[in-house]
Structure 1
Amino acid sequence: MDFKLTEEQQMLQETATRLVRDAYSFEAREQYSLSEEGFSRTFWQQLGELGLTAVPFPEVLGGFGGGGVDTMLLMTEFGRGLCLEPYVESVIYAGGLLMQLGSPAQLQDLLPQVASGKLLLATAFQEPQSHYHLNDVQTRAEQTAEGWTLSGRKAVVMSGHQAGLILVSARISGDSRAEQGIGLFLIDPQAVGVERRTYPTVDGRKACDLYLDKVNVSAYHVLGEPGQALAALRYQQGRAIAAQCADALGSMQETCRLTLEYLKTRQQFGVAIGQFQVLQHRMVDMCTDLEQVTSMAILAACCGDEADSLERTRNLATAKFIVSRAARNVAEQAIQLHGGIGMTWEYSLAHHAKRLVMLSHQFGDDDHHLKAYAAFLDAA
């Protein structure tokens, strides 16, 4: 298999590398994190102007027509720079749902805005009791003469505090865990009956809980066929997982670089601590994990955009499981090898560790995906 990047992919990677290096210093990131938005709107606009928010969308709708490998190249650089912008949530997950389920009018009206970075989307699929199960939906949607009314609560809506539109899953029929009867609705967060409670997450980003009290939704703002949204939610979450694996890869690369540099420069008993064999062994273990994650990120990128199948689902579950375990181990080992400085707020390593822990839980932790993989083996 040829793993060489095309000329266009090399240019894309170089563009992302320069942009993150020049515009996203660690000190600037801290200011973005503390701001009301929780990320840099200027940086997000730069992504749009350079066409990076358009990478996964078809050319006829204002996109770049890129695939999973193109997304992986971008997300690896974003992970290396600890970028706070909701690329996965808005462009990959929510944008993918819009692209898969949207009507011709919705695609024509909304998708070019997402591709240009002018419209920020979020996806509200989690609930306090759901614990990674997309079919566990208690938010209810009732049909009316004008459209629908939604009532319920959504938890940990990443970037939902600044989204122009939020994609909300709600139950149209069936009990709270039925596979059928789940619809997807476009909600204006400024609409009557919508309340958002914003809070910081462990890795410096921001999320919100979404409270819906008889929120009116017109028929135009229903995505796809009412009650048939679960398959699309699962498929697009698979694409988001593939992008997230690349995000973790970039963060792990920087974590290993920082740790190796520290072992070479920190001295004890008159020599660099990197000369101690036991520390060398632990550094090798970290690099081994990094190589494994690199392979899994490539696998996820290659299969993320494939047609839905049991093999695709198994591969993505495998990638998420291995990346989650390795990311957490690398974060813990890096802190141990650094000692106290590894937990210092002013040092970027601590923030990489937090990011890796966060990524290991978002879209399902390692135990969730291990159980899923076992279930897929039984199904096969």
Structure 2
Amino acid sequence: MLQVAFIKDNKEKVLAGLKKRNFSKLELINEIISLDESRKKIQFDLDSRLAEMNKLSKEIGVLMKDGKKEEAEKAKSQTLSLKESIKKLQQNLSETEEKLIVALYEVPNIPNDLVPAGTNENDNLEVFKYTANENIDTTALPHWDLAKKYDLIDFELGVKITGAGFPVYKGKGARLQRSLVQYFLDKNSEAGYREIVPPFVVNEASGYGTGQLPDKEGQMYYINEDQLYLIPTSEVPVTNIYRDVLLDENHLPIKLTAYSPCFRREAGSYGKDVRGLNRLHQFEKVEIVRIEKSDNSYQALQEMVDHIKSLLESLQLTYRILRLCGGDLGFTSAITYDFEVWSAAQQRWLEVSSVSNFETFQANRLKLRYKSEGKNQLCHTLNGSSLALPRVLAALLENHQTADGIKIPKVLVPYTGFELIN
């Protein structure tokens, strides 16, 4: 979340950034400033009364020692009145602080200056495109037909067991899925990311820490009896490793990678764009997370982008990179690059990764800081999909299909143990 001091010192910049996002509750900024002023006034009054109480307590002791009982009783009477006013002020302070936090939680991050203006995905800016040597004819089958033809994925069986959006991977389909996970983890490790196996459920504090709560509460699966959430991405548990942590600057940067299943309700999703592997309630993803000093986070962002480019090119997939516009930017992000692979069979782009710099937004919620020259400073946090499995798998099946079967990219053959699905 944004810091109150930043909002007060940069009110016009904050409002301009929120307008770029098409954020409708601009009145929250004045409310936050007003609540903070009230909080400060209440705190001042409370501190004054506590000081007065402390002074009276010392005076009572002296008066009793000197045998001035009448004056001591009068001072005691004053303390009773002070105690009542202190109690009311403490309650008022607590209520005001709670209102302030609730208001702050509703305000999204401020977009970086590089973020283009716009209202939706049609306004996103294409910044890079890579074309692989793919010769797909007009009779190419979509991945759901290929999955059935080669008995790789059973969508109907998933519906029987659980419901729509929970496919069952079979045979070479399951092996290819597992191979992609291992390949991505190995490449991430080679790039200096330390592998983590995190919990796949998190508590409420973790959800608030990385910004999924309260913004995405309706999209998360909730275990009511235990008050836990199934993770929508491993970014949540991995980043929360450092919640309430003060790091030495010599420990930065921190580079982590993790595989996990991901669970998303995807409420409101329907139509052709959700068919097959295009949109699932349960899917697998490999994530990369970085914790950086403020002066290095944009270099780190570029390194993450370059790393994901290398993964997609090694899989011989045509892809493009979009810099998201303000209206399409995630709640917590200051800037996001989306990677989309081309599906010749579906004649559409499929998102396979989002790489984001949150700057200090998550770190402020997490209370994640580093000490530099004796001062505590907020870290910058970043994360990216490296990569999301369902649509990568879909693109591999569709774009590498031949008359003889589906060819496996050379880099994956050591993992799959086969070169062709036929």
Pairwise TM-score range, normalised by the shorter structure: under 0.3
Query: Of the two structures, which has the highest relative contact order with CA contacts closer than 8 Å and spacing of 6 or more?
Result: 2
Higher strand share: 2
Q: Give 1 or 2 for the bigger CA radius of gyration.
A: 2
Using structure 2 for the length normalisation, give the TM-score: 0.23
Higher helix share: 1
Using structure 1 for the length normalisation, give the TM-score: 0.25
